[in-house]
Each structure stands twice: as C-alpha cells, then as structure tokens.
Amino acid sequence: MKNIIATLALFTSMLLFSCEKKNNLVETPIRLAATHPPLIAEDESDGKIQVALLLDTSNSMDGLIDQAKSRLWNIVNTLTTLKYEGKTPSIEIALYEYGNDGLGSASDYIRQVTPLTTDLDLISEKLFSLRTNGGSEYCGAVIKDATQKLTWNDGKKSMKLIYISGNEPFNQGSISYKEVISEALKKGIYINTIFCGNHQEGIQSFWKDGADVGQGKYFNIDSNAKVIYIATPYDDQITKCNTRLNTTYIGYGSKGAEKKRSQEVEDANAQSISGANFAERSVSKSKDVYKNESWDLVDKAKKDAKVLEEIKKEELPKELQGKTKEELKTFVAEKAKEREAIQKEMADLAKKRQKYIDDEAAKTKSQDDLGNAISVSIVSLAKTKGYVVVN
C-alpha cells in the first residue's frame, strides 16, 4: 500500500480550497434521509465531534506523511467553525495506522496510534512519529477495530466519522467490510473512503462501495499532489502571540513539565513544515478546543477551582512551591486573564488571516484536486445533527 498518509493531507487540504470537476474530484453524496440508521438515545451533553483517521502506512510514503503533518491544524480549525446550539463542540481525533509490516500479522497489521482524544499535541506528536513499511492492507479489519475499540459517544447530538485511505482493494482480508460497516452504522458512525489513485480503479476495487454501504462519501486523489501554502501578512504577528501564549501555561503534577516541553516541541514540528503551518497551529491554540487541564493549572482551575485549594506543594513547579494558597490563586488568575487577552488578539488576527487566504485562493486554481470535498461531507452531516457553520 502506498499512498495513504495522503489521506490526512487530503483531509485537511480538502478543507481549504474549492474544487471543480475538471480538477478530477469525484464524490458520492451522503444519504441521510430514508436510509439513515436508527437514532441513538439522546443524551444531555453538549455536541461532540469525533473523527477517526485510518491511515495506510505501507511502503515508502515519507513525502505523503509530510503532507499529513502539514494539514492537522487545518483539520482542527475547520472543525471549530461548527457550532451546536451556539457552543463549540468538544472535538476528539483518533489515529490508526494499518498495512505496515512492522505491526505484525497477529494484529492484522493494525495499530491504534491514539484513542479518541482532545489532546491535540498528542495527535501531532504521534503523527510526526509515523514511519512507513510494506505490508498487507485489511480495510475491513481496521474499520472493525476502530468501531469496537474507540470510545464513541452516544447521543444524536454527536457527529461520528471515520476516514480511511488506501490504494489496494478494499475487500482484502478475511473480515467482511460490508458487515463491519453495517455495525458501525448502528452506532451512528459514518464511513468515508479515500482511494489514492484513479477514480474508476477505486470503484472497481470496492472503495466506492465501502462509502456507499457506510452512507459516507467516496473520494479519489492524486496522493503525490503537493501541499499549497498561502503565507499572509498576519502570520508573523500570530506566531509572536503564540510565544506570549506559551508563557501562560503552568505545568502541574507528574506530567506537567513533560507536557509543557511537548507543547514547545509540537510548535517546532509545525514550524519545520512552514511558517504558514506554524501560524495555523498557533490559531488552533487560541481556541477553546485546545485545552490541557490534565497538565496545565490554568485550564484545570477554569474547569475546577477547588484544585487550587487541594493541590499539593510537590505537584507545583518549583518556582511556585513557596507561594501561599492565596498567592497561587492570584497568580493563576493573572495568567488566565493574560491568556484570554492574547487569545482574543489572536482570534482577531486569525479572521483577517483567513480572509486573506480565501481572497488569494479565489485568484488561483487549486492544485489540491479534492478541494473542499471533506468539508462538504462534514458540513452535510453536521446540518442533520443541528450544527451550523460560523466562520
């Protein structure tokens, strides 16, 4: 299997540009009316968007992995345009790799790289760690694993999507893709397939049928397409804001120092792709979906103020261990206020940046053949769930 990580590149690049038929985009519509699976019992929680990316990591796909790395933050920022009852829903992303010889036949060459998680730095870290190796690609098996082992949210407020990409026949392996996709639909999980190759070949090798059975969309892409970056006059200002933003994070507990370092590493990873990509990540960090209450005291106190009363001295960074409880509360409150001001500044810059990108994209023909295909699939389902798009 060759062309997979293009999927993630696909997944985000698709969110950026409009596409035309002459760009070789072919899609099948989501059918959500009479064929919609039975509704799951409603819960009282806010809406949640869950997306699992199943990426083929067979063969030498290092260039495509680089494309994937470059589009993660576009995925996040596009998903944050969706609102439910005026609120930004929680966003969880999971990563799987499959078709890699290094994973072993006992697991059907499948590995859950991350569970569904709100830890966006973890997703970035694991994406940058992916390596390619030849293997056998079993689409039915990886869809079954993701359907059964990921923690999918109940309730019709939630939107649950699987995107799987590859270029070998969709029906390989002993597990029937039709059966496992039917089981996924019972949980309200929609399956979207991305074939890396010729449109007709994807049909003949059952990728389109997988999407049809899964009530999702079928795409075909040129997995060797280069990622296009549009630098803007606002990128430098946004990344400078990001530097200030990082100073508002207070690591606590056993993971605090390590995760704070990881935050900086993922900044560097994004910057290694391009300045525009680093600005995209910085924009993500200015939004509500970038939350780190498991290691950051500001986010934790925002969710549970009692933590400042209960936290032990040794759980704090050394520079704060000598503060009284009241001094700690004052310090955290000041950092929270500072962060809020920086994020607001970044949000204003992000709007100007996105307008500049939209205007520049309208002047040129996109080389990303899939254009806005995945955003169309997300928005189509989102509307049936009561979500609206707010730019």
pLDDT in tens, 222-250: 777 777 789 999 999 999 999 999 999 99
- Binned at pLDDT 50, 70 and 90, residue 362 comes out as confident
pLDDT at residue 19 greater than cutoff 60? no
6-226+368-389 belongs to CATH 3.40.50.970 = no
- Binned at pLDDT 50, 70 and 90, residue 156 comes out as confident
pLDDT at 227: 73
Amino acid residing at 237: Q
Helix (H) or strand (E) holding 211: helix 207-213
Q: What is the pTM of this model?
A: 0.84
Report the pLDDT averaged over residues 62-90.
82
CA distances from 205 to 19, 168, 316 (A): 24, 7, 56
Of the candidate ranges 50-59, 71-80, 217-226, the one whose mean pLDDT is the lowest: 217-226
Report the pLDDT averaged over residues 38-51.
59
Indicate the DSSP class of residue 47: P
Other C-beta atoms closer than 10 Å to the C-beta of 132 total 24
Percent helix, strand, coil in the chain, to 5, is 50, 15, 40
Name the more confident of 168 and 391: 168
pLDDT at 212: 97
- Contacts of 233-236 spanning 24+ positions with Cβ under 8 A: 233/356, 234/279, 234/349, 234/350, 234/352, 234/353, 234/356, 235/275, 235/276, 235/278, 235/279, 235/353, 236/275
Indicate the DSSP class of residue 46: P
Name the more confident of 5 and 347: 347
DSSP states of 307-340 as a string? HHHH--GGGS-GGGTTS-HHHHHHHHHHHHHHHH
pLDDT at residue 33 greater than cutoff 70? no
**Cα 335 to Cα 290: distance, rounded to the nearest angstrom:** 16
pLDDT at residue 337 greater than cutoff 70? yes
Of the candidate ranges 19-28, 90-99, 243-252, the one whose mean pLDDT is the lowest: 19-28
Domain ranges of the chain: 6-226+368-389, 235-362
Indicate the DSSP class of residue 100: -
For the chain, the average pLDDT equals: 85
- Binned at pLDDT 50, 70 and 90, residue 365 comes out as low
Phi first, then psi: give them for residue 285, nearest 5 degrees.
Answer: -70, -15
Strand order in the sheet with 48-56: 110-117, 90-98, 48-56, 159-166, 189-196, 218-221
Q: Tell me how far apart the terminal alpha carbons of the chain are, to the nearest angstrom.
A: 37
Which range of 46-50, 284-288, 376-380 scores highest in mean pLDDT? It is: 284-288
Name the more confident of 44 and 334: 334
- Binned at pLDDT 50, 70 and 90, residue 118 comes out as very high
Of the candidate ranges 60-69, 134-143, 160-169, the one whose mean pLDDT is the lowest: 60-69
Report the pLDDT averaged over residues 175-196.
94
Joined together, the tokens standing for residue 65 give: 């992995």
Cβ-proximal residues to 202 (8 Å cutoff; 6+ apart), any chain = 193, 195, 208, 218, 220
- Binned at pLDDT 50, 70 and 90, residue 155 comes out as confident
pLDDT at residue 31 greater than cutoff 50? no
Other C-beta atoms closer than 10 Å to the C-beta of 186 total 11
Where on the phi/psi map is residue 371: left (φ > 0), alpha (ψ -120 to 50), or beta?
left
Angle at 56 between CA 131 and CA 382, to 5 degrees: 120
Spatial contact of 115 and 151, defined as CB atoms under 8 Å apart = yes
